[in-house]
Structure 1
Amino acid sequence: MHERITAAADPAAAGLSEAPIELEVDSTAQIATETAAEAVDEIAEAEGPTTDSEAETIADAPLPRRRSHRQRRTVRAADIAASRPLRAATAVAAVWLFAYAAHAAHLDLATLLVIVLGTAALNRYGSTVLDRIMAAVVLLAGTAIVGGLVISYWPWGLDPVAVGGFALSVLVLVSFATRRRFRLPMHFAAADGIAILGGVAAVVIAAWPTLHSDFWKQFDYSALLADRLRQFAMFDVVRSGHSYAFAHFNRVSAQALPGARTYPSGMQMVYAIVDCFVHGDAKPGPPLHEFVRYYWYTLISFGLLVLATAWAAKRMVGPMVADRLRLPSVFVTAGVGAFLSTGYFLSYVWQGFDSVVFACVFLVAGMAVILRPPRNVWEQALLAGSAFLAVVFGHPLLLPHITLVLVAALVVYRRRFFKNHIEGKLAFVLGTLGVAVLVTAPLMAVSGLNIGTRFHTDGFIIALPWHVVLTVSVAAAIALANPATRRLPHAKAALAALAATGAVQIALEIDLVGHSSTRYYVEKSLNGLVLMCLVGLGGLANLWPKARPKATRTAEAAEAAKAAKIAKVTKTPRPRTRRTRKPWPIRQAENAIAAITAALAAGAVAFAPAYINWPRFQPGTDSTWAQLWTGRHTFVADYGHQLRAQQRLGVYTDGVPTIVASSPSGILNLNMSLLAGLANRDLHAVSSQINRTTDLYGLTGLPAKGEWSPQAKASLKILEHIITSNKVPVRIVVSDKVLAAKLQSFAALHPQFKAKILYAP
């Protein structure tokens, strides 16, 4: 194709005013725009980044139909300049109309879907549909965290029309400003499908115990431990206040737990923005129904963690040359997904580590988009900054992990920043990273979190077996350091990041020698390192033997280099090489066999009856976490019937500050007290007493005559102290008649405290 431009597109540059622009195009072939775009993506995957002008010329340049040997078009530059603002304004008006129409039809979720797909179609990361969507998720998470600062102060709050219309308007304006079309690639890799299936399977497994239960019985699993209830309390603060807690704390102080004002709540803000579309209303609705929606967000986040890790491992394979690496990439992707969805990390769901799961999603996805960046350096900086914000403001203790990934990428790709337009590109990159730091620093400062002291905090956590840690670490080192992989720039950066993070983790382990009770946050940090190693396993695919003779590969490489050189000189897209592929059924059968083999190798299939080793808090021999969870063999709260009885008595609707002591287990008393405070949105009224409910044991089946056990006597003293020391009158809910009589007698002797005793069998 030969193009001759006879007049400048800019009349000022050509010294013309209102002068016509004449373009003569001699087309030797008709090449569709989408085909050209795919060619660019494949070239970039195989050969690395190209310049922005080359990419846009091939991918976005409109090619006229060939009606004759030569075709002449005449347009005015003034008409072009005048039409762009008009078209932009029309597009903005159209997206606002769409947001209003979707809200009127109760389809606000469609607006969220359009935002995600629009972001995916506007970015140019990777060469497959899943690549674009994962990059869009990273961009939107970072944007939502920063945008939460805007939402906190504008007058519309979390109104879905305002949030959706503004987000879609930004996408349209960015498209016009960058002259970039909305376009999704048509390519879809087999490993992408396996990664998606792994994510869907993870959601189904995690949700299985609550799929066949009534509303109140679901809380036996969804509210199993107090960590999730505390995380939901902060989510409810953001959702009800339409802002970060520190922005307008007076609005939500009555329902906030201590520390809610300063705790990093990036996950809560992202979930709140999603919930405004799912619920279709700026108001969150009844708290317990809101909790059920929040619970599903946590399950979807776990599935997204499995999907993101498997996808990131596929990205670590490197450029997919022909069909040679299809089966090994499928094997690695399926193995990683099966290990995460059925193994140890499933315990994160019932332990309630919601913010850790959220941050880990963007830690592993961030590794992919940072270590294998897009061609555009500005887009690279935006993706890196978004991943950094999502990790740090999701769970700050993973700050060292993502920081070391950023540093390794900056060292490996340093030449990209100095290649062309040094002032503009370097200033933009440094400016974007600076904005990320400047935005994160105040949020971290107001949080009052000290990472050094947090690593010494006590707490219960199930430890990841050390043989798993060592196996995954060694396999990742082999995957990234083997001669077939280490020549790739992203493999060098990943290996350096893993080595540095491992050194930090070893230093923490040495620091805590002899302090076995303070491993709560150290174990979470170690698990983050293991997830990074799982991403690095993608390099194992490069150990797959090459099927073609060396002479053939050399000749093909020389021919490809020659074609690329000719294409660069003539400014024409390089023709796609026709590859000989196996029939579709055979390829899918091979993919299925590779995926099943990987799942078996990852230990995703149990071969023995399910049982759990409680002293070690680990599944038994040949059992899996998925088998225990779906078979309801894990620790179950079993207080659904008590919640139903308390609901009938108005405990969750009358707004009275409540402490629940109706279970023989202190943990369940804590959970039910938290649920009562959440349902009435008055947690602050009992915040000074609520943690003491963990010591309330043995308060059921008490004898009417005779001595109580020492444990029951101690629990009674705690309840009496709660009545006399709480700042506002409190209600005590019990399920034992003898205990109710004792507390009623105590309340009658101290009428000034106005305590209420409620018997709920």
Structure 2
Amino acid sequence: MQSNSTRAPATPPPVANPDRPASPPASPRPPSRRVTVAALWLAAAWLLPVLAYALGAAALLPPLVLALTAGLLRGGRTLLDRLVLATALLLGAVAAAGLLFSGWPWGLHPVPVAGTAGTVLLGVALATGRRPRWPRPAATDLPPVLAAVAAAVALGWPYLRAGDLAGRLAYAMIGEDNSRHLAAVEGIRAVGGYLFTDPQAAARVAPEAMTWYPQGFHLTAALLDTFLRSSTAPADPVAALDHYLGWALSAYALMVLALVWAATRIAGRQLDLARTWAVAGVVTAFCIGSELARFVVYGYPGETLGLALAALLVAVLCRPVAGIGTQLCLVGALCVGVGFAYLMFLPVVGLLVLAWLVRQRRAVLRRPLVLAGVALVAVPLIPLSSIGGLLNTDQIDNVATGGTVEPRYDAFLALTALVGAGLLAGGLRLPVWRRYAGALGTAVVFVLGFRIWFHVLDTDPRYYYGKTLHLLLMLLLVGIGALGLLLPPPWAAAGRRPGPLARLLVAAAVVVAAAGVAGLPGGTGMFAQPLDHRTTTWASAWWSGRLARPGPAELTVRALAQAPVEPGTVTVVASGKRREGYLCSLFVATLQGTAGASGPAYYKLPLAEPARSAAVVAAVPGRIRFLAADDDAEAVVRQLLTDRPELRTRVRLERLH
């Protein structure tokens, strides 16, 4: 007789994906209800932007688009994970959509941009059958956010305490790149899209050199600024500078957030809350105390955004999100974003993506339609800026130009040893850390390749060699989470474990130690280098005000007040001090919106008098207004007019009040 105790084998429960939050299955909606919901969504997608724009509240629309994008994604365990992934997706989408904005008749106007975004999101919801759904925030979401805010406030403090336009200009003029990036942002707002899509319209506002410069940051900042202002009209000089500086600091905050998030994502369950705080603090300290602070000091917002996107890409390649379709879309968007933000990182990015595609080829090939769609969009767009720049500019020659780079190799060696210790302590047994090690090795080879190239050229490493080191530094900071591998995992039961307060105190001690090593208290950290006649860090020199240029800033403000824009006339500040007249003239033209039309008066000319004024007259065929800042400059221009009286018909001289 068969026993009654015989049972069918139990089916094991499915294994939950740690990257996918648990949620009840969605009940199917009746077709009529789906049509009604879709119609309401479509109506709201266009009526809300119209209403917000009419009320001057278009600034509310980008956060709404971000929230809806995050709600439709299905990757990430926490709310911050979802928002970061949505941001990555949108940044790549904006870079690609910039070509659409450049071609349609509305430019960057908030209503059609937001309406189109809402319509696309509706299409995604209908195609996937998803409804917006967000995971709950977690305690580990807070450290990366606070790290980003702390870094932005710390490096933005000189601007916040400056008080007036002259005070902010004194810091903005440390790096003349700020003038060109500001001109590019305002040029994109004026053109309504990428500068290279309408070079003639951009020629007045933006310098010629920026026409084919990667404009991912500039288009994003211009678009968000249009929403913030609820207007497409040109901004006045003070507002234009303030908004640009705000977007540049926002890009730096995004970079810090991306680095901390990438470090904690790769480390995964090796980090409890206390270790997450420690990693966030260490990464932030090194961001502020290292060469990365120079991004704010000298004005490198494009590279800042490119580095942030590269960090996010490394994170999702090392630890992919749930769903190969979502992963493919994220990888494609991030690659497009890097290509439009800072093309120099593309060789490393391309190799990492190629390695991931080979490794995941079976899973990728199971989604042929998604793969084909992503490839159709991403493959031609990723190298677009690079190809355009190579065909229309001398970018290859520029790689071997610029100032000599003197990196702190001992600092890189120390960070490499720390991360390597974590990897050797057991990290290489885990696939995620092996992928990270491969990414780090690729960056090292990239740096060595540039170093060997400069050796072949028989010259010292130049400006762009430093950019390769920035990429390597980013990867080392992303690997800081490997230090958690040196300690027992937080869930291990090894006798009596310290309580939460003790673990937080240990984390705080680690952060304080990192701040000391990075030189935040006194500027004598491991990244310190000769600056302004002393050895210090970029952040310390920036905070002290020693790098500021109050004299040129004051002259610029006086020139703006004395010499309003005159169509067809180039305004030139003449000064007896070397480079002062050049800087003042450059920023006056940028703030007046004439940097493109006035370009021949500033670039590739002598930086000191008396040669400079004579070169300006020879380079500019039209009318010129000289503003003499001192007696020496006034005497030079008067002598020039005396020697060449025929110039008086198009050249006039005024003393700067």
Same fold (TM over 0.5): yes
Does 1:471 find its partner at 2:385? no
Give the corresponding residue for 1:675. Answer: 587
Say whether the 8 Å CA contact 1:256–1:683 is kept in structure 2. yes
Give the corresponding residue for 1:572. Answer: none
Match of 1:497 among 418, 439, 443: 439
Q: CA deviation at 1:547?
A: 6.2
Q: Does the C-alpha gap of structure 1 residues 447 and 494 become closer, same or farther in structure 2, counting only changes over 3 Å?
A: same
- In the alignment, structure 1 segments of 5+ residues that lack a partner are 1-38, 50-54, 64-76, 553-579, 697-714
Q: CA deviation at 1:144?
A: 0.3
Does 1:630 find its partner at 2:579? no
The one-letter code of the counterpart of 1:679 is L
Matches within 5 A, 1:95-244: 95-190=45-140, 192-212=141-161, 213-244=163-194
User: Tell me, what secondary structure is at the counterpart of 1:44?
Assistant: coil
Q: CA deviation at 1:405?
A: 2.2
The one-letter code of the counterpart of 1:616 is P
Does 1:508 find its partner at 2:450? yes
Matches within 5 A, 1:237-316: 237-316=187-266
Does 1:758 find its partner at 2:654? yes
Q: Does the C-alpha gap of structure 1 residues 592 and 407 become closer, same or farther in structure 2, counting only changes over 3 Å?
A: farther
Q: Does the C-alpha gap of structure 1 residues 244 and 457 become closer, same or farther in structure 2, counting only changes over 3 Å?
A: same
Does 1:530 find its partner at 2:473? yes
User: Tell me, what secondary structure is at the counterpart of 2:603?
Assistant: helix
Give the corresponding residue for 1:59. Answer: 23
Q: CA deviation at 1:545?
A: 1.0
Higher relative contact order at CA 8 Å, sep ≥6: structure 1 or structure 2?
Answer: 2
Amino-acid identity (%): 24
- TM-superposition CA deviations, 1:661-709 (whole Å, max 9, x none): 236131x32221112222333334432331245521xxxxxxxxxxxxx
State the alpha-carbon separation in 1 of the partners of residues 529 and 507 from structure 2.
36
User: Tell me, what secondary structure is at the counterpart of 1:732?
Assistant: strand
Deviates more, 1:202-211 or 1:162-171: 162-171
Match of 2:571 among 644, 651, 658: 658
Match of 2:430 among 488, 495, 506: 488
User: Tell me, what secondary structure is at the counterpart of 2:268?
Assistant: coil
Q: CA deviation at 1:275?
A: 1.0
User: Tell me, what secondary structure is at the counterpart of 2:306?
Assistant: helix
Give the corresponding residue for 1:357. Answer: 304
Q: CA deviation at 1:650?
A: 2.2
Q: CA deviation at 1:656?
A: 2.7
Q: Does the C-alpha gap of structure 1 residues 153 and 88 become closer, same or farther in structure 2, counting only changes over 3 Å?
A: same
Say whether the 8 Å CA contact 2:289–2:520 is kept in structure 1. no
State the alpha-carbon separation in 2 of the partners of residues 550 and 601 from structure 1.
29
The number of equivalent residue pairs is: 639
User: Tell me, what secondary structure is at the counterpart of 2:195?
Assistant: coil
Say whether the 8 Å CA contact 1:262–1:446 is kept in structure 2. yes
State the alpha-carbon separation in 2 of the partners of residues 664 and 547 from structure 1.
61
Deviates more, 1:204-213 or 1:509-518: 509-518
State the alpha-carbon separation in 2 of the partners of residues 481 and 612 from structure 1.
24
State the alpha-carbon separation in 2 of the partners of residues 430 and 746 from structure 1.
65
- TM-superposition CA deviations, 1:278-308 (whole Å, max 9, x none): 1211223224421221111101111111111
Match of 2:602 among 690, 714, 738: 690
Say whether the 8 Å CA contact 1:733–1:758 is kept in structure 2. yes
Give the corresponding residue for 1:25. Answer: none
- TM-superposition CA deviations, 1:198-238 (whole Å, max 9, x none): 11111111111121221222101123221121122222221
Q: CA deviation at 1:380?
A: 0.4
Does 1:728 find its partner at 2:622? yes
Give the corresponding residue for 2:285. Answer: 338
Q: Does the C-alpha gap of structure 1 residues 461 and 242 become closer, same or farther in structure 2, counting only changes over 3 Å?
A: farther
Deviates more, 1:610-619 or 1:85-94: 610-619
State the alpha-carbon separation in 2 of the partners of residues 636 and 737 from structure 1.
21
Give the corresponding residue for 2:6. Answer: none
The one-letter code of the counterpart of 1:376 is G
Question: Computing the radius of gyration over CA atoms, which structure comes out larger, 1 or 2?
Answer: 1
Q: CA deviation at 1:525?
A: 1.1
- TM-superposition CA deviations, 1:239-292 (whole Å, max 9, x none): 110011222222222233223332221221111111111121122322442122
State the alpha-carbon separation in 2 of the partners of residues 455 and 510 from structure 1.
17
Say whether the 8 Å CA contact 1:381–1:433 is kept in structure 2. no
Greater fraction helix:
2
User: Tell me, what secondary structure is at the counterpart of 2:653?
Assistant: strand
Match of 1:591 among 497, 501, 504: 504
Say whether the 8 Å CA contact 1:382–1:432 is kept in structure 2. yes
Give the corresponding residue for 2:9. Answer: none
Q: Does the C-alpha gap of structure 1 residues 606 and 224 become closer, same or farther in structure 2, counting only changes over 3 Å?
A: closer
Q: Does the C-alpha gap of structure 1 residues 412 and 718 become closer, same or farther in structure 2, counting only changes over 3 Å?
A: same
Say whether the 8 Å CA contact 1:336–1:534 is kept in structure 2. yes
State the alpha-carbon separation in 1 of the partners of residues 464 and 337 from structure 2.
19
User: Tell me, what secondary structure is at the counterpart of 1:61?
Assistant: coil
Say whether the 8 Å CA contact 1:653–1:680 is kept in structure 2. no
State the alpha-carbon separation in 2 of the partners of residues 311 and 327 from structure 1.
15
Match of 1:401 among 348, 371, 377: 348
User: Tell me, what secondary structure is at the counterpart of 2:232?
Assistant: coil
- TM-superposition CA deviations, 1:400-447 (whole Å, max 9, x none): 1211221232244334335xxx2xx04522541342121233433222
State the alpha-carbon separation in 2 of the partners of residues 355 and 658 from structure 1.
28
Q: CA deviation at 1:486?
A: 2.4
Say whether the 8 Å CA contact 1:730–1:756 is kept in structure 2. yes
User: Tell me, what secondary structure is at the counterpart of 1:658?
Assistant: strand
Taking structure 1 as the reference length, the TM-score comes to 0.77
The one-letter code of the counterpart of 2:631 is K
The one-letter code of the counterpart of 1:388 is C
- In the alignment, structure 2 segments of 5+ residues that lack a partner are 1-12
Does 1:617 find its partner at 2:531? yes
Q: Does the C-alpha gap of structure 1 residues 371 and 434 become closer, same or farther in structure 2, counting only changes over 3 Å?
A: farther
- TM-superposition CA deviations, 1:337-373 (whole Å, max 9, x none): 1211233311221112221111001011111123222
State the alpha-carbon separation in 1 of the partners of residues 527 and 566 from structure 2.
40
The one-letter code of the counterpart of 2:159 is T
Q: CA deviation at 1:619?
A: 9.6
Give the corresponding residue for 1:740. Answer: 634
Q: Does the C-alpha gap of structure 1 residues 548 and 188 become closer, same or farther in structure 2, counting only changes over 3 Å?
A: closer
State the alpha-carbon separation in 2 of the partners of residues 609 and 319 from structure 1.
34
Matches within 5 A, 1:407-418: 407-418=354-365
Taking structure 2 as the reference length, the TM-score comes to 0.89
User: Tell me, what secondary structure is at the counterpart of 1:638?
Assistant: helix
How well do the aligned residues superpose, as a CA RMSD in angstroms?
3.2
- TM-superposition CA deviations, 1:131-165 (whole Å, max 9, x none): 11111111011000111111111121111122122
- TM-superposition CA deviations, 1:564-609 (whole Å, max 9, x none): xxxxxxxxxxxxxxxx999xxx746743651452242243564548
State the alpha-carbon separation in 2 of the partners of residues 591 and 612 from structure 1.
26
User: Tell me, what secondary structure is at the counterpart of 1:739?
Assistant: helix
Give the corresponding residue for 2:5. Answer: none
User: Tell me, what secondary structure is at the counterpart of 1:317?
Assistant: helix
